[in-house]
Amino acid sequence: MLIRIIVGAMVLLLLTDSVGATEEARLALGDSLWDKSSMAWEIAPDARPMISLAEFRANTLRDEEVFLSAWPGPNHCSIYAVTNQQSLMLSLQGEEELKPLLLHLYQLASTPDSDQEELLSATEQVSDLLLGGLSLDWNMYGHITFAPSGIFNLVPMSLLMAHSPHMTVARIPSVSSLVNVRKSAATREAIKSLKVLAVGGVVDATKADSALAFKELDDLDNTYSGVTVVRPNAGGEAPELDKLLGFDVVHVGAHCVSNDSNPLESAIALDPSNPDMMIKASALKDARLDTRLVVLSRCSSTHEVSFSGEGLQSLASSFLEAGVPSLVAALWELEDGPTGFFMNSFYESLAQGENAEHALALARKKCRQDTNFNKPQFWGAFVLVGDGQVKVPLQAKTKFGGMGRPVAIFAGVGAGLFFILRMRR
């Protein structure tokens, strides 16, 4: 089947910067995320709103970056790639023919006890299919911004690029989202005193692993300054969204439910058994938040009707529309151990001054080097959506906790007095 897809369906088309005397190759912006009949690139004078390739390269695309967009269709699927040198389109067979291959990879990647050789083989097949036919020298590039749609939302791009450890990867819902996020970066003010909100979910205290549910929140609180921990009570209501204002980082340790059949119903479920404790994507997209980074460490999906990945995409899109430039989430649900290890590594790199995309890459690397967490199912789950250049200068607490600075000053003064007294003897 794979050979038939590659050989029988692969067509490579070069989109030049000047298609004709009166028309220019353009990138379509706007509501194309939900319009499955539209294409990411259109050559049409009445398309709305538009940005030229020259403008996109000059004002949005970064050096050594590949903008990659994947669109499903009933008759053929399309992969588009834009760099500062060229624009390429790869045409593949229809969605129904590609879906078994992509679903197979996703299911292997999201199952910890799956056969690792089978996973490696499936990863190579999908990588050859989606990336191999683009005729790009991937060693020339350092970053991929991936804009998937439909079934392509399930593609774990970090697994596909595992052979290029120097490559960082970020996702974006649409071209317009990327343009807006990059524009807003120029107007962001420097963070003076970082504030972190760590939100948990209601847990069943009768379960053996209930204590682990709050461990990542406690780790944040015990390790870094400026952390506020919120543990909701059963039977309550979801907090008003304005409660998130004033926090530079929001870490959500509660489950995030991805609804593929109705993406705007995807939600942060502070209590999965209580509909009143859901923060839905439909409410988020109309909010205005000043948060720099949102981390959704626990994601699960409702795949009974559709298996497309649109639910997680919608939740991420809603945060971006609300003004959050960067979000980290998981493509599949992980156990507490791997999640905690990955999150601790991620925040440690942020505290050392790394931006979000490099901190994520370093967390993956650290997982791959640890024999307990080196399976792709662990290090390949988390993705960054939005602007990977965001920095949040976490400040580690001293070993004396909140009394660190006073104790250090007192110790220094005491040492000085001791030295003076000894000199006078």
State pLDDT tens for residues 247-280: 999 998 877 777 766 767 777 877 777 777 878 8
Mean pLDDT of 283-289: 81
Half-sphere exposure in the Cβ direction for 175 (13 Å, CA):
31
Helix (H, G, I), strand (E, B) or coil at 337: helix
Q: Would you say residue 421 lies in a domain?
A: no
**Cβ-proximal residues to 176 (8 Å cutoff; 6+ apart), any chain:** 29, 30, 32
pLDDT for res 56: 85
For residue 416, what is the enclosing H or E element? helix 404-424
Cα–Cα dist 401/390, whole Å: 27
Tell which residue, 67, 47, 48, has the closest CA to residue 57: 67
Cα–Cα dist 17/66, whole Å: 16
Helix (H, G, I), strand (E, B) or coil at 383: strand
For residue 378, what is the enclosing H or E element? helix 376-379
pLDDT for res 37: 31
Cα–Cα dist 73/60, whole Å: 27
- Residue 215 corresponds to which tokens in the numbers above? 């461990």
Range of weakest confidence among 29-38, 58-67, 161-170, 232-241: 29-38
Q: Tell me how crowded residue 273 is: count the other CB atoms within 10 A of its CB.
A: 10
Q: Would you say residue 208 lies in a domain?
A: yes
pTM of the model: 0.80
Half-sphere exposure in the Cβ direction for 264 (13 Å, CA):
8
Q: Would you say residue 402 lies in a domain?
A: no
Q: Which of 130, 156, 185 is the last residue of a domain?
A: 185
101 and 62 together in one domain = yes
Mean pLDDT of 396-417: 53
Q: Where are the beta strands (DSSP E) in 83-195?
A: 87-93, 143-148, 168-171
- Residue 204 confidence class, pLDDT cut points 50, 70, 90: low
- Residue 244 corresponds to which tokens in the numbers above? 């998130």
pLDDT for res 124: 95
334 and 269 together in one domain = yes
Range of weakest confidence among 13-22, 61-70, 233-242: 13-22
pLDDT for res 46: 42
**Cβ-proximal residues to 46 (8 Å cutoff; 6+ apart), any chain:** none
Q: Would you say residue 190 lies in a domain?
A: no
Q: Would you say residue 405 lies in a domain?
A: no
- Residue 16 confidence class, pLDDT cut points 50, 70, 90: very low
370 and 252 together in one domain = yes
- Residue 343 confidence class, pLDDT cut points 50, 70, 90: very high
251 and 323 together in one domain = yes
Q: What is the DSSP string of 363-412?
A: HHHHHHHSTTS-SHHHHTSEEEEE-TT------BPBTTBTTHHHHHHHHH
Contact 284, 315 (CB under 8 A): yes
73 and 108 together in one domain = yes
232 and 317 together in one domain = yes
Q: Tell me how crowded residue 389 is: count the other CB atoms within 10 A of its CB.
A: 17
Cα–Cα dist 26/44, whole Å: 8
pLDDT for res 417: 44
Contact 346, 360 (CB under 8 A): yes
Q: Tell me how crowded residue 6 is: count the other CB atoms within 10 A of its CB.
A: 16
Residue 281 has pLDDT above 90, yes or no: no
pLDDT for res 230: 86
- Residue 355 confidence class, pLDDT cut points 50, 70, 90: very high
Cα–Cα dist 126/154, whole Å: 12
Q: Would you say residue 279 lies in a domain?
A: yes
Given phi > 0 = left and psi -120 to 50 = alpha, else beta, which region is 323?
left
Half-sphere exposure in the Cβ direction for 144 (13 Å, CA):
27
Residue 386 has pLDDT above 80, yes or no: yes
pLDDT for res 238: 64
Q: Can you list the pairs that 115-124 forms with residues at least 24 positions away whose Cβ atoms lie under 8 Å? A: 116/375, 116/376, 119/376, 119/377, 123/159, 123/160, 123/162, 123/376
Q: Which of 142, 166, 185 is the last residue of a domain?
A: 185
- Residue 205 confidence class, pLDDT cut points 50, 70, 90: low
pLDDT for res 352: 95
Q: Which of 185, 217, 247 is the last residue of a domain?
A: 185
Range of weakest confidence among 87-96, 191-200, 303-312, 327-336: 303-312
Residue range(s) defining the domain that contains residue 382: 196-386
pLDDT in tens, 147-202: 998 889 889 999 999 888 789 999 998 888 888 899 888 788 878 789 999 988 77
> What total of structural domains would you count in the chain?
2
Q: Would you say residue 408 lies in a domain?
A: no
296 and 353 together in one domain = yes
364 and 338 together in one domain = yes
Our CA angle for 133, 148, 91, nearest 5°, is: 35
Q: Where are the beta strands (DSSP E) in 271-374?
A: 278-280, 293-302, 326-330
Mean pLDDT of 305-320: 66
Residue 59 has pLDDT above 70, yes or no: yes
pLDDT for res 394: 93
- Residue 276 corresponds to which tokens in the numbers above? 């009143």
Residue 228 has pLDDT above 80, yes or no: yes
26 and 175 together in one domain = yes
Domain at 350, CATH number: 3.40.50
CA-based radius of gyration for the chain: 23
119 and 236 together in one domain = no
Residue 366 has pLDDT above 80, yes or no: yes
In 60-152, where does DSSP find H-type helix? Answer: 95-109, 116-130
267 and 235 together in one domain = yes
Which of the two residues, 358 and 235, has the higher pLDDT score? 358
Residue 413 has pLDDT above 60, yes or no: no
Q: Would you say residue 404 lies in a domain?
A: no
77 and 221 together in one domain = no
